[in-house]
Amino acid sequence: MKKIFLDSDIILDALLKRPGHFLPAMNIISLANINFKLVTSSVVFVNVHYFLDKFDRASKFPLLIKLRSVISVIEIGETIIDLALKSRLNDFEDAVQYFAALNANVDAIITRNIKDYKQASIPVLTAEQFLKTL
């Protein structure tokens, strides 16, 4: 089964029902564990919590618990941070996510921010692009 990394923007699109982005993001999450396995990093989970606290404080923990039931969390340690610090990727957070995904042997990264992953050695797709591959 393919392993797919979800970046925070895709998760937030689904959980915050962002106009224009909600349906593709939600479709990916709803297909999890049927056609592929979803993973994200511990940093993404923290970022998502931070934004949910600002926009949907009352339901943040139920949403995170439901999300956690369909997505695995990969760890970020010293090696990942060191690789990100030494990388040529412009955005440090994206570099951390990229090296965490690479270390977890994912088949693709799904994000709305594909421009920061130009040097990636694994496919980096938008939610819409990924859904077209199914």
Asked whether residue 134 is assigned to any structural domain, the reply reads no
Asked whether residue 58 is assigned to any structural domain, the reply reads yes
Asked whether residue 117 is assigned to any structural domain, the reply reads yes
* Region of residue 20 (left: phi > 0; alpha: psi -120 to 50; beta: else): left
Asked whether residue 26 is assigned to any structural domain, the reply reads yes
Whichever domain contains 83, its CATH number is 3.40.50.1010
Q: What DSSP designation does 32 have?
A: B
The average pLDDT across 103-131 equals 94
Question: Which pair of structure tokens corresponds to residue 72?
Answer: 């695995």
Greatest mean pLDDT among 50-59, 91-100, 115-124: 91-100
The number of folded domains in the chain is 1
Does position 97 have pLDDT exceeding 90, yes or no?
Answer: yes
Asked whether residue 116 is assigned to any structural domain, the reply reads yes
**Cα–Cα distance between 17 and 100 in angstroms, integer?**
26
Angle formed at CA 103 by CA 68 and CA 99, multiple of 5 degrees? 90
The average pLDDT across 106-118 equals 92
DSSP-based three-state secondary structure for 27 = helix
| Model pTM score | 0.92
Confidence bin at 54 (pLDDT 50/70/90) = confident
Q: Which domain holds residue 18?
A: 2-128
Asked whether residue 133 is assigned to any structural domain, the reply reads no
The average pLDDT across 120-124 equals 94
Does position 53 have pLDDT exceeding 90, yes or no?
Answer: no
